[in-house]
Structures are given as structure tokens and as C-alpha cells.
Chains A and B, each alone.
Chain A
Amino acid sequence: MSDHARPGAGAVNEDKAAEEAQLRAVWANPTGWRYWTSVNNYQIGLWYGSAAFAFMLFAGLLALLVRAQLAVPENDLISPELYNQAFTLHGTVMMFLFAVPIFEAVAIFLLPPMLGAREMPFPRLGAFGFWSFFIGGVFVCGSIFFGAAPNSGWFMYPPLATSEQAGIGADIWLLGLSFIEVASIAAAVELIVGIMKCRAPGMRVNLMPLFAWYLLIVAGMILFAFPPLIAGDLLFEMQRMFDWPFFDPERGGDPLLWQHLFWIFGHPEVYIIFLPAIALLAMIIPTFSGRPIVGYSWIVLAAVGTGFLSFGLWVHHMFATGLPQISLAFFSAASEAVAIPTAVQIFVFIATMLAGRVIFSTPMLFAMGGIAIFIMGGLTGVMVALAPFDWQAHDTYFIVAHLHYVLIGGMLFPVFAGLYYYYPLIDGQRMSDRVGRLAFWLMFTGFNITFFPMHIAGLRGMPRRVYTYPADIGWDWLNLISTMGAVVLGIGMFAVVMDVTLHRRRQPRGEQNPWNAGTLEWLNEPEENWGVRSIPKVASRYPLWDQPTLAEDVRAGRGYLADAKEGRRETLVTSVLDAEPEQVLRVGGTSYVTIFCAATLGTVFVALTFKWWLVSLAAGIAFVGGVLYWLWTGTGEIPDRDEKDIGHGISLPLYASGVKSTGWWAMFITMTGDGTAFASLVFGYFFFWTIHTDFTGGQAGPGAFWPMAALALFALAWSVTLGAREINRQGSVLATRLLLVLGAVLAACGCAAALAGPWTSAMDPTAHVYPAIVWILVIWAAIHGAVGVLMQLYCLARSLAGRLTPRHDMELHNVALYWHFMLVTALVTFAVVGLFPEVL
């Protein structure tokens, strides 16, 4: 690439200037209020991050309110009801509206420049995710101003949360957060495809920035962790809305099922929060140690190992529920085992610092402070992972102290380190060092003064979530110290907020790479929207350190895909392992459709909360219409020609279908998450089977006939869809269309047959948990069947409109993939509801 300074360079320069102007125009944002229709990763990341930070500050104020109430014994500063809402919302907002979204924000903001890509593969999906998150977040947070916030603690245990006392707050929690979980799954799709398929050429898996490795693992974890909660939310909301007794022991239900589903999500979530924060440290520490990370492979080991082991920990939140001790012991063992990969990461960081020459900058201060706090939380974690100790400490302030040490040390401090480190990417200036150091020491001391005494208060028996306490039992001075510490911590955070909001006007434009970092994001062009001016060829883990001409070459447009002659936003797709160029991907540009879809889907959830069925239905139809419009106009476009020259003698296809297309991967990933939610419902079915001698409770089942008929119809619909894909490839367009119609008819009949089972045996879902869980499984399958019909008809319409041809058949491949998952869903559902009771 470094073939510059040739004869005739003047003409080349002029060409390059014109090329640059056009590229800038293609990627430019609209101005005025239409600015908010941007889908560019740079804006979306910034909005996402700012919103998450704002929610964090709000939840921080709620925490101060809680601390104020607990400052002195017998206090009645706020009412018990407001107190309940305040601590519930504090936990909920910190976990769901700050800790998880902030990493999605950072990832969307950082990954394209870090991987040397122009944009994430699905920018509109990213924008949709942001708007969903924002609308859901405002809805959940706003509820407290109407005295309607959730009040049963952030994990919403039934029977308290299914009772009348819980009020509408519980619905707001369930529906608002379900909506936000949609955003998380959208982010997971975006991140996995982005990291696997959109890296710069040459960035093989052994050269990937560690941040990308971590995010890949975390996105995978989201697919297996969030869906169980979505399934749990579904069951929970069915009980609250329609009195289906999933968690009601009187009718065969069991509150413990909620605890299982919540913590199958909740424990991995801790690592979903922790790993991206550690990922930031894995970028910061090498920079300030002035050397590559020591033990790159060990970090990969730790990330993957933690990702897996974290799924074997969930029952350690349930040690006090009376499960058999042999079960507790398995989870206790896994909880101890996860300390191994966690410690590996910390030793890698220490080794890197020992091997380099450390500069103790502000980001490093926050990083080191975070690690110190986290280690302390990790050690108490090892303690509470032991069931006998946990029985003593369960639901006391010891746990409150432990979880704040883990989350603030493992997440908040690293995020602040990241803020100070990456701020120059936002507007080219560093944040103030003086304020940063002051803020760090205030936060660090304030944090320890707040939370260390809680260990002692907990060991003295103070239960968490208690509204107030008597004066003479030795808790009062501990609580007073905690409250004073919280104020100091708050002042420290306030200093950072001031720094972010006020400092920018005072400082001149700084250097491009102020910390002399080695990774690609420090090409740093905050005034440009194009990700990278041209896409480099990467040959090192730290390209800016090891490839001296790279920065200049990229900026001079001497990399790949330097132009946008056709006026389209384009980025490169490369192979998974060796990042060899495969395709030029045209990504979606600025659009209203993302906001429309998020707003209509948000309306569905909000209307359901208030039981406005018709509004909800209308919004649902509008949402489906919006998605169809989005797909029809924005995806699967047949390009004007087959290939595009990306420079350096390489021509790449503009269209891909099947395994090679990013859409296929997105479908695969989405359906993996969907499959996990389905598996959680099946888990529920067998959970009820294990806890009862006769889990049908004497109720009639759906019989074997209708379930088997439904299975046969869905299997036929599946084979016809696959047939349509093959026939289309061979060029028989008419036969393809006929097969698609046949498939849709078969699938529609399958849906009807599925529902006919429990319908004809008059199963009453409110009578007992058995009919309820059968109905849920069958409805799940039928809705998926209906979506399958919609997809088949969509392909038919595309074919009729000439947008799906024998050579351009991306939609059919994706729909066939959907039907593979649908077949598995049908097989499991109907075998379970139809055959399982028969063999008992």
C-alpha cells in the first residue's frame, strides 16, 4: 500500500480530493431535526452511551435517597412505599439501563474504527436497538414520578410481585424490560456479525484486538442469557394479566421457577457486564505500559472460560431455597471454578505492567482502582459461593457490599477509565487530568467508606431492603458512615459530569493519538462520519505501532474501498478466520423507519401495561408493517452490477446469499436466541413435571392426534420451503412460487392444528399449571408458524416483484434457515405436549 510519491502525484491528489469529498457526502448526516434519523455507528454509539449515563446518574440519585433514609435509625424521611420503589428502580436501572447498554454503546461506537470497518453490518438495527432502549428506559424511569414504579426488588420474586401489592409497577418492569431485552438481542446480532465478518483484511483471529474477542464472547452470552428472562417475563405477565397460575402453588405452579429463569439470566448477566469492562482494561493497560499485552491467548482463555462457566452459577443465588444439597454443591463448585479464569485476567494485566514501563495517567488510575476494588469483591464472592457461609449472609448487607464491590470495581471504574481514555475519539480533546484525578480519589475513597461498613452491618444481621432499623442493635453508626461515604462518591461522580459537560470549550483540538496507542481506532477522525477514510491491510495486533506507514496510507485513501462512486454506504465483508476480503456490503443509510418501528413496538408494550388491547393490536400491526417496509426497501437489493473494484487489483461481489451473506448469520443468531427462549419454556414444562407426582393435576391433555397432525403439517411446510429454495436455484420460478403458496397453506393449517389440541380437549389455562404450560408451548409454536407463513409470502411477493431471482435468492435462504429452526420447535413442542403425557 505504500506506493506513494509516484510521478504525476498532482493529478492523483486531485482525484483523491474529489473521492474524499464524495465519500464524505455519502456518509454525511442530515442536519437540523432530521439529525435524529441518523443510523451511523458514531452517532448511535454516542446517543446510546449518553442515555445510559443519564440513566446511571438518575439511579445514583435514587441510591442517595436510599442512603439518606438509612442514615439514622427510625428515620421517616421518605415513605416506605417510595423507599421500596427507589431501591427497586435503583437496581433495575443500574443493571438494565446502564450496565448492559453502556457496553452496547461503547461497542457500537468503537468496533467499526477498531476493526477497520466503515460501519457495523446492520446500522439500522443498531439505531432500532437504541430507540427501543431509550423509549423503554424513559417509560420505566418515568414511572416513579407517578408513584407507579416497580417496588418488589430488582429481581421481582413472586409471590410478592404477582400479588395485588405489586401494583402496575410489576407490569412496567416486566413489559418495559422485555422491550429493552429486544434491544440487547439486536445488539448481540450486530456485534457477532460485525466482529466475525467485518474486520479489515488481514486481521486474522490471532490479531483481533482483545476488545473484539471479549465482545464476541459477551454477545454470544447474551443469546443464551437474555432469552430465559424473556420466557420468564412471558410466563409472569400471563399470570398477572390472565391469571395463568405458573407461579401459584395452589394451582400447581411454583415461585421457584421464576427464580431459576431469572438467575439463569441474572448470573451470566454479571459477566456480560464485567467482561466488556475488562475488555476496556485490556485496551488501556497495554497502551500505558507501552507494550503489547503479555499472554494474549490467556486472555482469550479467560474470556471464553468465564463465558461458559458463568452459566453454571445461577443456583448460588438460590442456596437458601431448600434445593437438595447435592444440587447446591454442583453450583458451589462451579462458582469456585470461575475464580480461575477471572484471576488469569488480573495476572495478565499485572504481568503486562511489570513487563512494560507504566505511565500512571488518569485512565490507569481508574483501571487500577477498579481492579483493587474488584479483587476485594471477588474474595467475598469466594466466601458467599460456599453454601454454609451463604446461609448466614444471605439477603443481608454483606451481599449488598459484595455485589457493589464486584460491579463498581468490575464495571463502573473501568467504564470511567474508558471514558477518560476514549474521550479524545469523541471530540479530539482529552478530559481534564486535574479534575480526573480529584474525581478518582473522591470516588475511590467515597466508595470504600460507603460499602466497606456494609460487610460489618451485614454480618451483624442487617437485612437488605429494610426500610429502617432500631437504634440499639449496633447498626446505626455503620449506616451513618455509609451515607457519608455515598455523598463523597456522589461528589466525585458530579466532578466527572462537570468535566464532560463544561470542559470542551476551553481546550484546543488535541493530537490524533494522544496516548500513543497501537490499535486502529486511534486513527481517530472525530469530525468524519465514515469510520475510516480507506480500509487498511492489517498485519499486527498493534498496527499503529508496527506498521509505520499505515496511518498515513489510510488517511491518504490508499487502502481498500477508498471511494463511494455509486453514492452508497459500503463496507467490506471478510472471512471469519483469516479476514480475507469476500464481499462489498452495502449498508442501510439514514432512515425514519427505525424510529417508527421502535415507537410502534414501544407502544405495543406500553399499551399492554395499561391493558389497552386495541391500541396494542393496532400498534402491533403498524410495527409488522414497518418491519416489512424496512426489509422490502432496505435489504436484499439486487445490485446494478455483480462486482466492485476495491483497489489493489481486487474485485468483490456486491451480492451474497446463504452462508456467505450477513443476513443469513443475523437470522442464525436471532434464531439461536429464540431457541434459547423456547428451551426455557420447555424447561418450565419439565420443571413442573419433576415437582409433582402427577403434574397434570388430573386435567385432560391435548391428546396425541392434533399435536401429531400439527407436527406433520409443519414438517411438510418445512420440506416444501426447502424445495422452493432448491427449485428456485435451478431456475423454475413458477414452480418456486407454487411451492411457496403450498408451504404457506400447510403452515397455516399446522398453526390451526396446533391450537386445536388443547382447544378440543377444553383445557382451561387458569385452572391448573398443566393446561397453562401446554397452551404456552402450543401458542409459541403457532406464532412461530405464523411468522413462517409471513416469510413465505414475503418471498413470494419478492419473486413476483422481480426482486428475488434464481441468482439473487438471499431471502429464500434466510427463510429456509428460519424453517429449520421452526421444524425443531415443532418437533420438540408436539413431542412434548402430545407424546410425553402418553408414555407416563
Chain B
Amino acid sequence: MWHLLPKEVESLWTLFTAPVVWAAHFLFCYLAAAVYCEKGFFGAGFDTLRLTIGLVTMAALAMIVLAAFLAWRQWGFGTGDPPHDDPSRRDRLLFQGYATLLLSGLSFVAVIFTALPALFLTGCLR
């Protein structure tokens, strides 16, 4: 049967999904601003940069929310309480889900932090 979302991912790497999205978003903001402020972008105004950063931020937040949802599901939607320290596959999965959910929260906040300058600054200012 086909699923929109994978049923269960048995991997250590899912833990890093949200922080990787943060890193990609951060890198994009930094590089876009650096190139724009040095080289310009086909005569586009600064607001275009701000708008682009805004759109990329929305996309990044959406991806983090998706990662958080998957993690929340892996965590059984909060039915089991931490500390998840039983020597069982189930508790290992719950732990992974919970840790991933926490990391998604942190990444969500960090992405907003990173995007704030584009909200407030109206020029490269150097």
C-alpha cells in the first residue's frame, strides 16, 4: 500500500532532519545576502531579497513542521512518557521520536531567529 509519508524510518539520520533544514536555510540567507550586497541580482531591489528570504523561511518552517509531525507520530503522539529507557525496540523508537521532536522545536525557533534581520533591515547597510 502506498503512503504519502513513510511508515517508519529506521535510521539514526532522521534525528538530524530539522537541524539540517536550519543549516540549509541559514546558508541560503547568508549567501543570498552576501552575493546580493556585493554583486546585486539583475538590478532587483532589496525588497526582492527580503521577500525571497521570507519565502525560503516559510518553506524551511514547513519542512520542519513536517519533520516534527513525523517525529510526533514516531513518539506515539505523546502517549508514552519519557525517559524511554527500557531495553526494547519500542522505547528506542519512542526516544528517537521524542528527541527529534525536541530538535524540530529548537530548529523552528532558530530559523525564525535567523530570518528576523530580513524582517527589520531595509538595506545592506555597510
- What is A's interface to B at a CB cutoff of 8 Å? 196, 202, 204-207, 292, 295-298, 300-301, 304-305, 307-309, 311-312, 322-327, 329-334, 336-337, 340-341, 538-541, 576-578, 690-691
Whole-angstrom CA separation of A202 from B89 in the bound complex: 10
Cβ of B56 under 8 Å from chain A: no
Chosen A-B contacts, 28 in total, with CB atoms closer than 8 Å, are: A204-B89, A204-B91, A205-B92, A297-B82, A297-B83, A297-B84, A300-B102, A305-B103, A308-B16, A308-B22, A309-B110, A325-B126, A326-B37, A326-B117, A329-B116, A329-B120, A330-B30, A334-B26, A334-B113, A336-B113, A337-B113, A340-B106, A341-B106, A540-B85, A541-B83, A577-B92, A578-B89, A691-B38
Query: B20 to chain A: which residues have CB within 8 Å?
Result: 308
Tell me the residues in window 57-95 of chain B with beta carbons closer than 8 Å to chain A beta carbons: 82-85, 87, 89, 91-92, 94-95
Minimum C-beta distance from A42 to chain B (A): 28
A300 touching B99 in the complex, CB below 8 Å, given contacts A309-B110, A323-B126, A326-B33 = yes
- Mostly, the B contact residues are helix
A206 to B94: give the CA distance in the assembly, Å.
Answer: 9
B38 — nearest CB in chain A belongs to which residue? A690
Tell me whether A329 and B121 are in contact (CB under 8 A). yes
Interface pairs A-B: 10 shortest CB-CB: A329-B117, A206-B95, A325-B125, A308-B19, A539-B87, A324-B124, A301-B102, A324-B37, A333-B113, A690-B38
Cα A304 to Cα B85 in complex, Å, equals: 19
A297: contacting residue among B95, B107, B113, CB under 8 A: B95
For B22, list chain A residues within 8 Å (CB): 308-309, 312
Beyond the given A304-B15, A327-B30, could you list 5 further A-B residue pairs with CB under 8 A, ordered by the A residue number?
A: A300-B102, A307-B19, A324-B37, A325-B125, A334-B113
Interface residues of B (CB under 8 A from A): 10-12, 15-16, 19-20, 22-23, 26, 29-30, 33-35, 37-39, 82-85, 87, 89, 91-92, 94-96, 98-99, 102-103, 106-107, 109-110, 113-114, 116-118, 120-121, 123-126
Contact B106 A330 (CB under 8 A): no
Of all chain A residues, the one with the shortest Cβ separation from B75 is A297
Report the minimum CB–CB distance from B88 to chain A (whole Å).
8
Residues of B within 8 A of A340 (CB): 106, 109-110
Structural contact, B98 and A326, CB atoms closer than 8 A: no
Known pairs A297-B83, A334-B110, A337-B109; A324 contacts B98 (CB<8 A): no
Question: Chain B residues with Cβ under 8 A from A337's Cβ?
Answer: 109-110, 113-114
Give Cα distance in the complex from A798 to B16, angstroms: 39
Q: In the complex, which of the residues B34, B83, B109, B117 contacts A690, with contact meaning CB atoms closer than 8 Å?
A: B34
Cβ–Cβ < 8 Å partners of A326 in chain B: 33, 37, 117-118, 121, 123-125
Residues of A contacting B33 in the complex (Cβ-Cβ under 8 angstroms): 324, 326-327, 330
> Contact between A578 and B92 (Cβ–Cβ < 8 Å)?
yes
Q: Whose C-beta in chain A lies nearest to the C-beta of B15? A: A304
With contacts A205-B92, A324-B124 taken as known, whether A292 is within 8 angstroms of B85 at the C-beta atoms is yes
In Å, the complex CA distance between A196 and B15 comes to 14
Indicate if the CB atoms of B12 and A205 lie closer than 8 Å.
yes
Among residues of B, the one whose C-beta sits closest to the C-beta of A323 is B126
**Nearest chain B residue, comparing its CB with the CB of A334:** B114
A784 CA / B38 CA spacing, docked (Å): 33
- Knowing A297-B99, A577-B92, say if A330 contacts B85 (CB, 8 Å): no
In the docked arrangement, what's the CA distance between A71 and B125, Å? 42
Minimal beta-carbon separation of B19 from chain A (angstroms): 4
The listed residue with most A CB atoms (<10 A of its CB), out of B29, B87, B96, B126, is B87
Contact A330 B126 (CB under 8 A): no
In angstroms, Cα B23 to Cα A307, docked, is 11
CA distance A301 to B102 in the complex (A): 6
Nearest-Cβ distance from residue B106 to partner chain A, whole angstroms: 5
Q: In the complex, which residue of chain A has the Cβ closest to the Cβ of B37?
A: A324
Q: Among B11, B15, B23, B117, point to the contact of A312 (Cβ < 8 A).
A: B23
Whether B99 lies near A301 (C-beta < 8 A) is yes
A323 to B114, CA, bound (A): 17
Residues of B within 8 A of A301 (CB): 99, 102-103, 106
Q: Are B87 and A204 in contact (CB under 8 A)?
A: yes
Residues of A within 8 A of B16 (CB): 304, 308
User: What residues of chain A lie closer than 8 Å to B12, measured between beta carbons?
Assistant: 196, 205, 576-577
User: Is the pair B37, A298 in contact by a Cβ cutoff of 8 Å?
Assistant: no
A207 near B39 with CB under 8 A, answer no
Q: How far is the CB of B8 from chain A (nearest CB, A)?
A: 12
Would A330 and B82 be within 8 Å (CB), given that A301-B99, A337-B109, A337-B110 are in contact?
Answer: no
Q: Is B34's CB under 8 angstroms from A312's CB?
A: no
Decide: B82 and A296 in contact? CB cutoff 8 A.
Answer: yes
Which residues of chain A have C-beta atoms less than 8 A from B84's C-beta? 206, 296-297
What are the residues of chain B within 8 A of A576 when measuring CB–CB? 12
B19 touching A205 by the CB < 8 A rule?
Answer: no
Task: Determine the chain A residues whose CB is within 8 A of the CB of B29 once the complex forms.
Answer: 330
> Please, which residues of chain B bring their CB within 8 A of the CB of A292?
83, 85
Give the distance in Å from the alpha carbon of A336 to the alpha carbon of B19 in the complex.
16
**Inside 8 A of A202's CB, which chain B residues have their CB?**
87
Interface pair A312/B26, CB less than 8 Å apart? yes
Residues of A within 8 A of B123 (CB): 326
Note all chain B residues with C-beta closer than 8 A to A330: 26, 29-30, 33, 114, 117
Minimum CB–CB distance from B63 to chain A (whole Å) comes to 15
Q: Roughly how many angstroms separate A301 CA and B113 CA in the complex, as a whole number? A: 18
